[in-house]
Amino acid sequence: MTQDYNFAYLDEQTKRMIRRAILKGLAVPGYQVPFASREMPMPYGWGTGGVQVSAATLTPEDTFKVIDQGSDDTTNAVSIRKFFEKTAGVAVTEETEKASVIQTRHRIPEAALREDQILVYQVPIPEPLRFLEPRETETRKMHSLQEYGLMHVKLYEDISQHGAIATAYAYPVRVSDRYVMDPSPIPKFDNPKLEMAAIQLFGAGREQRIYAVPPYTKVVSLDFEDYPFEPTKADHACDLCGAEDSYLDEVILDDAGNRMFVCSDTDYCRSRREAGHVGRLGEEAA
Amino acid sequence: MTATATTAIAGGFSDPAIESARAFRAAMNVMARPGEIRDLDMARPPAPLSAAAGTLLLTLCDPETGVHLAGACDSAEMRGWLAFHTGAPVVSADRAGFAVGRWADLLPLDRFRIGTPEYPDRSATLIVELEALQQAGASLRGPGIKDSAALSLPDPAALAGNAMLYPLGLDFFFTCGGRIAALPRSTQISEG
Amino acid sequence: MYVAVKGGERAIENAHAWLAEERRGNGDVAELSLAQIREQLSLAVNRVMAEGSLYDPDLAALAIKQARGDLIEAIFLIRAYRTTLPRFGATKPVDTGAMDCDRRISATFKDAPGGQVLGPTFDYTHRLLDFKLAAEGGESLEAPKAAPRHQPTPHITEFLAGEDIIQREPESEAAPGDLTRQPMSFPAGRDIRLQSLTRGDEGFLLGLAYSTQRGYARNHAFVGELRIGTVAVEMEIPELGFAIEIGEVELTECETVNQFKGSKTEPPQFTRGYGLVFGQTERKAISMALVDRALRWRELGEDDLGAAAQDEEFVLSHSDNIQATGFLEHIKLPHYVDFQSELELVRKLRREAGADATREAAE
């Protein structure tokens, strides 16, 4: 009962099916292409869509990076990175700059990505209209007719009730003036970065959808003239590297509830500290 | 073994998993960046098919995809080669997932599936064999293009008409020898 | 001083080592063999084969052992293995009319050709713990044997069809769809529905089927027939030009006969629900038949009563326990980036609400 697996685990026919879906996804940016997602050796909901897209995309020459919550060392990122180290024999890195393919859950790296890089997102619920309308038959119709009024009504109800749009992550965007798309549960702080030089691929395994955003594609976060979209983050600088432009994790330090704020993108923080930047609590570390 | 069979067996990938991974990356990159030209030169299909078109067929086609062979591409050698290496069924234009041939042989375009409003992905991809492929000619704008790009399109007006169908429409690869470029339906075209 | 959490890799390795130790349990107790699981926990093996969609009792036993008896985890192992197997082709449809029945009962007729055969059922056992089993060392028991029946056992619904009083299923030569190869789209069609149900979670289907009995789209089901036994599996070999038997599988088949007063499009007649599941899995097969029947409201011209069991998209989207358990359990994964963005938002909304309240108080 031993067994050898194919390069990057998936069989060739499955990879071809995924590759065809990726090409159609790139041709119709933001449109969710159905694909016959396979059962992977990790659970649905744990990145099987991203893993399948990465498996269909990787070549032996690639250098692969995996982040979860911005960090390379979170357990599920470690697990996925090891999977491809083993099944595809690719080089791996924690440095954004050195990676050619980056698989991510919940973040876009802080450093601007280049044209020769690919960002693969793990997507739990690809349908931006799902929580307004649970039926796929209905939401598919709404996309075909560009009937996005329901989404605007929802956002507007937030404003009338709370004085602000109460969506903090998975904030919906409109791609190339056509499809409303779920950018995966990234904090809305990351939304402006969705317009980038790299190819962005989105894989939802359990929901059997792949979608894509080609480089330099127009991506607009939904908003209203009088309530413009605001990419927000904790109003602090990183306590380790002093960065004021990066998304921050809040860490509880002691029983008294003292906090510190640190970059969620651990590689960004590391590279800044190596370059000599020091935050409020960083000096003590040296 | 017959002469056809010998031809059919030659010219495929020697290491399918690795070569098709590399070939797909080239195909994905050009589809994501309309106007960009890349090398794609792994397969050796029977004449008159180019190496790039042959490589693309081996990378993307299998028993689940109907392939339409247009004009001189529809030969016994070509059918044998496609069947041996991909198992893809040869089908008529209206049922094709992929079609390959010279531009004139692929016309009229309205024979091919352009998808449905609810499933625009259910559309054909055309692999157009060109005599020349260069970054000059029609001006391209849209997703995947920083400002504008240029590509030697066979018939800019017809392709602009295809873009008008967006989000429905056909997607194109252009092949010439061992090189490839692409034009998705999302690209806006103006005469250069 | 705070140091960012490191060591995910070592933590995973250690967790795996601990899991392996727990799996084995106390080393003084003899280790379970796959043969013991296959022979003595055969209903668990059957469930894993059915929901794993792979007929292989030895692999199912291995999966149960590896999963420490967590059957959904075992089903997951089987599914992940199954998806890597190459496909050589499709078998011919099995002929359940030619089944070698171990059990065959009908609730609709007192007797019928082929008889009522109880088989190895729990049905009339009194559910009293048998402390003799706790003593171990039980010798292998042999049940009395009757002469095997050699002619095929006809389906009960055939008798009703002969009288033309039950709806006939349309014959079709079309190859059925396969939800493991094509993405699901709705409406799915009965072939995909039945495939989805037979792979679906037993507990989920049981609950849905039960809800129809309690009035949520009640469809008056009788168990027309329940049969369990083995059938031959045949495959056409193109090189040979004919079909050969490649093995046999144990199946449970349930056909319900449902009262039907007729609708706008159909005359009064009986209708059917259908369940077919790998192994001896009768709770699942009966549940499947009831849910199948509930899902057929549209083709029979019945009313949509808004019941869960009638809702194809709802049932098919939620019946797969591997999808469900993965997504349910993924909320254990770190979500602190999303949580942080929510935290900032709630703080901001509270600040603003507080500022409004202060202003109002001042005015």
Q: pLDDT tens-digit profile of C246-258?
A: 999 999 999 999 9
pLDDT tens digits, C51-89: 999 999 999 999 999 999 999 999 999 999 998 888 888
Whether the pLDDT of residue A284 is over 60: the answer is no
Strand pairing class (B125-129; B98-102): parallel
8 Å CB contact between C250 and C181: no
What count of CB pairs under 8 Å joins A to B?
115
pLDDT tens digits, C269-323: 899 999 999 999 999 999 999 999 999 999 888 889 999 999 999 999 999 999 9
The domain total for chain C is 2
All structural domains of chain B: 3-190 (3.40.50.11310)
Q: Tell me, what's the pLDDT at C150?
A: 81
Arithmetic mean of pLDDT over chain A: 93
Q: How far apart are CA A67 and CA A47, in angstroms?
A: 11
Arithmetic mean of pLDDT over chain C: 91
A34 touching C, CB under 8 A?
A: yes
Shared domain for C219 and C105, answered yes or no, is yes
In-domain check, residue C126? no
8 Å CB contact between C308 and C295: no
Quickly state the pLDDT bin for C9 (edges 50, 70, 90). Answer: confident
- Asked if A89 is an active-site residue, the reply is no
Residues of B engaging A, defined by a Cβ cutoff of 8 Å: 16-18, 20-22, 24-25, 27-29, 31-33, 59-62, 64-65, 97, 117-121, 123, 125, 142-146, 166-167, 171, 184-186
- Closest partner residue to A29 among B16, B22, B143, by Cβ? B143
A141 touching B, CB under 8 A?
A: yes
Shared domain for C278 and C255, answered yes or no, is yes
Whether the pLDDT of residue B2 is over 60: the answer is no
Burial class of residue B181 in the structure, from the number of CB atoms within 10 Å of its CB (0-12 exposed, 13-18 middle, 19+ buried): buried
What pTM does this model have? 0.91
Cβ contacts (< 8 Å) between A29 and chain B: which residues?
Answer: 143, 186
Q: Which residues of B30-51 are buried (b: 16+ CB within 10 A; e: fewer)?
A: bbbbbbbbbebbbbebbeebbb
The arithmetic mean of pLDDT across residues A196-203, rounded, is 98
pLDDT tens digits, A224-249: 988 899 998 889 999 999 999 999 99
- Asked if A203 is an active-site residue, the reply is no
Nearest CA in chain C to A11: C84
In-domain check, residue C210? yes
In-domain check, residue C157? yes
Domain hosting residue C72, numbered range = 2-82
| CA B3 to each of CA A14, B79, B81: distance values in angstroms, whole numbers, following the listed order | 32, 14, 12
Label each residue of chain B as H, E or C.
CCHHHHHHHCCCCCCHHHHHHHHHHHHHHHHHCCCCCEECCCCCCCCCCCHHHHHHHHHHCCCCCCEEECHHHCCHHHHHHHHHHHCCCECCHHHCCEEEEEHHHHCCHHHCCECCCCCCCCECEEEEECCCCCCCCEEEECCCCCCCEEECCCCHHHHHHHHHCCCCCCEEEEEECCEEEEECCCCEEECC
Shared domain for C76 and C216, answered yes or no, is no
Shared domain for C76 and C103, answered yes or no, is no
Shared domain for C234 and C190, answered yes or no, is yes
Q: Which residue among C82, C110, C129 closes a domain?
A: C82
Tokens of A98: 């050195």
How would you list the strands of the sheet with B125-129, edge to edge? Answer: B38-39, B179-183, B171-176, B125-129, B98-102, B67-69
In-domain check, residue C243? yes
- Asked if A149 is an active-site residue, the reply is no
Shared domain for C9 and C112, answered yes or no, is no
Shared domain for C228 and C273, answered yes or no, is yes
Q: B111: Cβ–Cβ under 8 A, 6 or more apart, which residues? A: B93, B94
In-domain check, residue C91? no
What ipTM goes with this model? 0.96
Q: Of A203, A205, A263, A282, which is the active-site residue?
A: A263
Subunit contact A249:C326, Cβ cutoff 8 A: no
Shared domain for C69 and C186, answered yes or no, is no
Cβ contacts (< 8 Å) between C345 and chain A: which residues?
Answer: 164, 166, 168, 232
Q: How far apart are CA A109 and CA A104, in angstroms?
A: 9
The arithmetic mean of pLDDT across residues C211-224, rounded, is 92
Q: Tell me, what's the pLDDT at A180?
A: 98
Quickly state the pLDDT bin for C137 (edges 50, 70, 90). Answer: low
In-domain check, residue C130? no
| CA B19 to each of CA B6, B13, B80: distance values in angstroms, whole numbers, following the listed order | 22, 7, 21
First to last CA, chain B: 52
- Closest partner residue to A214 among B25, B32, B167, by Cβ? B32
8 Å CB contact between B38 and B180: yes
**A contact residues 60-89, partner C, Cβ 8 Å cutoff:** 68-71, 73-79, 82
Whether the pLDDT of residue B153 is over 60: the answer is yes
- The DSSP 8-state label assigned to residue C140 in this structure reads P
- Asked if A238 is an active-site residue, the reply is yes
Shared domain for C204 and C240, answered yes or no, is yes
pLDDT tens digits, C311-337: 999 999 999 999 999 999 999 988 999
Shared domain for C38 and C114, answered yes or no, is no
pLDDT tens digits, C165-204: 898 888 888 889 999 989 999 999 999 999 999 999 999 9
| CA C97 to each of CA B104, C161, C234, C282: distance values in angstroms, whole numbers, following the listed order | 57, 14, 15, 17
The arithmetic mean of pLDDT across residues A256-275, rounded, is 94
Shared domain for C61 and C102, answered yes or no, is no
Shared domain for C62 and C111, answered yes or no, is no
- Asked if A263 is an active-site residue, the reply is yes
